[in-house]
Amino acid sequence: MADAPAVDVRVTVNGHEQVVTVHPMARLLDVLRVDLHLTGTKEGCGEGECGACSVLVNGELVNSCLTPALQVDGASVTTIEGLAPGDDRLHRVQQAFIEHGGAQCGICTPGMILAAVTLLERHPQPTDEQIRTGLSGNLCRCTGYTRIFEAVVRAARLRPGERAT
Amino acid sequence: MRAYLPAYDLRAPETLREALTLMGDRARRWRPLAGGTDLMVLFDAGTLPEGHYLGLWKLTELRGIHEIGGAFAIGALTTYTDILHDARLARSFPLLGRAAAETGGVATQNRGTVGGNIANASPAADTPPALLVYDAELELHSVRGTRRVSYDRFHRGYKDMDLGPDELITRIHLPRPHGVGFHYYRKVGTRRAQAISKVCLAAWIDLDPKARTIRDLRVAVNSVAPMVTRCRHVEDALRGRACDTAAAHAAVDALTRDIAPIDDVRSTANYRRHVASRLLEEALESARGSV
């Protein structure tokens, strides 16, 4: 058996520099939820198929259930908790989701919102096809996706900080 | 997550030399881990072999897509997203981008690598059929030196590859493209994204526009054999023929000698055989329609 000891992993999470002492293979999902108490990121499948665990690592969407902790050593991670620009304001994507009914049970929502955020960074005025492709790794069992797509379209038209309705 | 964490050692060397030295250590077996999108699935399920893993993500020597005189050298750590963003690859080797776009979703594409996809050796892998069609060659490194292997000889059987325990795939070489030709790729899965292939067919067909004969072609499939496979009987049956209905019948007939589909969790032998034949017919019809 390898009997691997825990190691120090230096990672910036939502703008805050952290050092976590974890096993190198520990899932980033568990480091976020258990070690850092950031429970916004959800586990839906534990096999990279549903996207509920999606976070941004160095600005790129990844499935945190498939990311070993060592892989984010030196990296910058953004979770759903780090999205809002302030305590009293929401990111325009969050605002649009609330006001267009893009969330029901909410389990897919953190990952879905982060996927939408990174999509809008790459395609500020996405076509329907680009929205479907950009969110294709995020499964939702409640909404039937329609209101999620509408929320993304609406968020694309909002200036940052502008309310959706 | 079912794995027992202390049983997994993971280290990420800074250089290729350091990585190869560790891989060459006979006292300890280091297993490479690139993006992690295959291995961590097994880890989460509790079925990843315990032991020592070598994180490759710091090895800049394995990154980058380089073009020299029309030929390409693709670093093994090239992600599907990297492939999708490379306009030169899209022009010369469009099937790579088609395969990358149909692999998982954005999150998988950001982390999954071509080298990892090859070394994982799933018979259902989506990019390897495109690599076979493009006559890819693998560059392998170890402390013992470097060698090249033609990709169509790399997979010898189910998860049996011409890759030593101390070797790393470092680059995938694509020789100068065959010419203009017609490029075809279709993956059939349960849904249009985040699905593993039931069957996939990739083809490059060079049609003489006047005579409408097939000057040359390559056909490759996944999920219908123990490994991704070139369809050599199909190619031999079609080379030099007029691309017509009789040729399509001959091709479908020859296909049965190239494939050996089975029933498994994703599909059945009958479905795979039927759909593979239809994909081949569609490839030929589309090629005919393109000139």
Q: Which residues of B touch A27 (CB under 8 A)?
A: 1, 40, 43-44
Residue A121: its H or E element: helix A109-122
Residue B112 sits in the same domain as residue B133 = yes
Provide the pLDDT for residue A117.
Answer: 98
State residue A165's pLDDT score. 46
Cβ <8 Å between B10 and A70: yes
Which of B141, B174, B207 is the endpoint of a domain? B174
Q: Measured between CB atoms, which of B7, B36, B81 is closest to A67?
A: B36
Determine phi and psi for B81, rounding to 5 degrees: -65, -40
Q: Which two tokens stand for residue A153?
A: 């379209």
The pair of structure tokens assigned to B119 is 């070394």
**In the predicted model, is pLDDT for residue A163 greater than 80?**
no
CB–CB of B72/A23 below 8 Å?
A: no
Eight-class DSSP state of B140: E
Q: Which residue has the tokens 């097939």?
A: B214
Q: B156, B174, B192: which is the final residue of a domain? A: B174
**Domain shared by B242 and B139, yes or no:** no
Question: Residue B11: in which H helix or E strand, if any?
Answer: strand B8-11
**Global model pTM greater than 0.90:** yes
Q: pLDDT-based confidence at A161, cuts 50/70/90?
A: low
Are B190 and B223 found together in one domain? yes
Which domain CATH number covers B127?
A: 3.30.465.10
Q: What angle do CA A42, A44, A50 make, to 5 degrees?
A: 110
Contact A66 B44 (CB under 8 A): yes
Residues B20 and B75 in one domain: no
Closest CA to B127 of B89, B155, B95: B95
Residues B68 and B134 reside in one and the same domain: yes
A34 touching B (Cβ < 8 Å): no
ipTM over 0.90: yes
Q: Report pLDDT digits (tens) over B139-196.
A: 999 999 999 999 999 999 999 999 999 999 999 999 988 668 999 999 999 988 889 9
Partner-chain contact B11 A24, CB within 8 Å? yes
Residues B170 and B68 in one domain: yes
Structural domains for chain A: 7-82 (3.10.20.30), 92-157 (1.10.150.120)
Parallel, antiparallel or unpaired: strands A76-78 and A7-13: parallel
Given a cut of 90, is residue A142 above it in pLDDT? yes
CB proximity A71 to B under 8 Å:
yes
- The number of folded domains in chain B is 3
Residue B41 to residues A49, A141, B136: CA-CA distances in angstroms? 10, 22, 27
Specify whether the CB–CB gap between A108 and A52 falls below 8 A.
yes
The DSSP symbol for A58 reads: T
Please, which residues 13-32 of chain A have a Cβ atom closer than 8 Å to chain B?
23-27, 30
Q: How many CB atoms lie within 10 A of CB B269?
A: 14
Interface test with A, best of B5, B52, B59 (most A CBs within 10 A): B5
Nearest to A136 among B33, B51, B193 (CB): B193
* Whether B232 and B247 share a structural domain: yes
> How distant is the Cα of B266 from the closest Cα of chain A, in angstroms?
15
pLDDT at residue A76 greater than cutoff 90: yes
Q: Which residues of B touch A25 (CB under 8 A)?
A: 3, 5, 8-10, 43, 53
Chain B contact set for A137 (CB, 8 A): 104-108, 193-194
Q: CA A27 to CA A45: how far, in whole Å?
A: 13
Q: B41 CB contacts (<8 Å, ≥6 apart)?
A: A47, A48, A66
The closest of B253, B16, B286 to B142, measured between CA atoms, is B16
Q: What is the pLDDT of residues A16-61, one digit of tens each?
A: 999 999 999 999 999 999 999 999 999 999 999 999 999 999 999 9
At residue B176, the pLDDT reads 81
CA of A30 vs chain B CAs: smallest distance (Å): 9
> Helix or strand or coil: residue A20?
strand
Pairwise CA distance, residues B76 & A128, whole Å = 33
Looking at the fold, whether B197 and B234 belong to one and the same domain comes out as: yes
Same domain, B137 and B223: no
- Of B138, B157, B174, the one marking the end of a domain is B174
Is pLDDT at A113 greater than 60 in this prediction? yes
pLDDT score recorded for residue A17: 98
Contact A66 B111 (CB under 8 A): yes
Q: CA-to-CA distance for B285 and B273, rounded, in angstroms? A: 18
The tokens for A44 are 């839906």
DSSP characters over B31-75 = EEESS-TTHHHHHHHT-SPPEEEEE-TT-GGG--EEEETTEEEEE
Sheet with B199-207: strands ordered across: B182-188, B199-207, B214-222, B229-230
Which residue type occupies A34? V
Query: Strands B214-222 and B229-230: what pairing?
Result: antiparallel
3-state secondary structure of B113: strand
- Are B66 and B163 within one domain? yes
Q: CATH number of the domain at B261, please.
A: 3.30.390.50
Residues 6 or more apart in contact with residue B175 via CB below 8 angstroms: B71, B134, B135, B137
Claim to verify: residue B43 and residue B66 sit in the same structural domain:
no
Residues lower than pLDDT 50 in chain B = none
Structural domain including B252 reads 182-290
CA distances from B147 to B63, B141, B162, B168, B180 (A): 18, 7, 11, 11, 30
Q: Do residue B214 and residue B274 come from a single domain?
A: yes
Give B34's contacts in chain A (Cβ within 8 Å): none
Q: Amino acid identity, residue A86?
A: G
